[in-house]
């Protein structure tokens, strides 16, 4: 797989539709061609301390941010017909489906591939298959884990090596 979009979401609370950050890295013929990152006003619009402890995003960071449908509208044309790749895709696909449902948007049945699942097949002896562990094993620099854009970029680079 050499043409795809790697995607990562951060959430404000334990509700999957509470997306507060989106990172997307576009890959075309094996080359990272474009990056997209935006903070999002989550729905429901509250932050739990546990989520903020993970990614550092707070209510004050997103209080003037656009809602998910507006942000997604900027991406939808670029994502058309591209497979999506995520590390632990069950989470990211779940977030996307939950946000579509929350806003009564028709979900277009994106195709997801999972670098976590694939890394378990390709590198079964790793101590774990968390994003930082897989990235480090493959010599990929992960600047800031739980930053949506940094995670999406690491995921894209991992996908190019293991799919």
Q: Is the pTM of this model over 0.85?
A: yes
Which residues is 112 bridged to in the sheet? 84
pLDDT of amino acid 143: 82
Sequence-ordered list of residues with C-beta below 8 angstroms from that of 98, at least 6 positions apart, any chain: 15, 16, 17
DSSP class of 139: T
Q: Mind listing the pLDDT tens digit for each residue in 41-86?
A: 999 999 999 999 999 999 999 999 999 999 999 999 999 899 999 9
**What are the structural domains of the chain?**
4-162 (3.30.420.10)
What is the tens place of the pLDDT at every residue in 139-158?
999 989 999 999 999 999 99
* pLDDT (tens digit per residue) in 95-152: 999 999 999 999 999 999 999 999 999 999 999 999 999 999 999 999 899 999 999 9
Question: 24 φ, ψ to 5°?
Answer: -135, 135
């Amino acid at each position: 797989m050499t043409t795809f979009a790697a995607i990562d979401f951060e959430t404000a609370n334990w509700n999957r539709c509470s997306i507060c950050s989106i990172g997307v890295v576009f890959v075309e013929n094996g080359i990272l061609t474009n990056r997209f990152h935006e903070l999002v006003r989550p729905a429901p619009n509250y932050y739990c301390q546990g989520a903020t402890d993970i990614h550092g995003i707070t209510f004050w960071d997103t209080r003037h941010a656009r809602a998910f449908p507006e942000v997604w509208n900027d991406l939808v044309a670029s994502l058309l017909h591209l497979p999506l790749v995520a590390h632990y895709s069950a989470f990211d696909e779940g977030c996307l489906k939950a946000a579509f449902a929350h806003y009564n948007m028709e979900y277009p049945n994106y195709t997801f591939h999972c670098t976590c699942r694939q890394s378990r097949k390709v590198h079964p002896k790793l101590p774990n298959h968390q994003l930082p562990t897989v990235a480090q094993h493959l010599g990929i620099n992960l600047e800031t884990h739980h930053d949506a854009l940094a995670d999406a970029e690491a995921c894209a680079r991992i996908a190019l090596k293991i799919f």
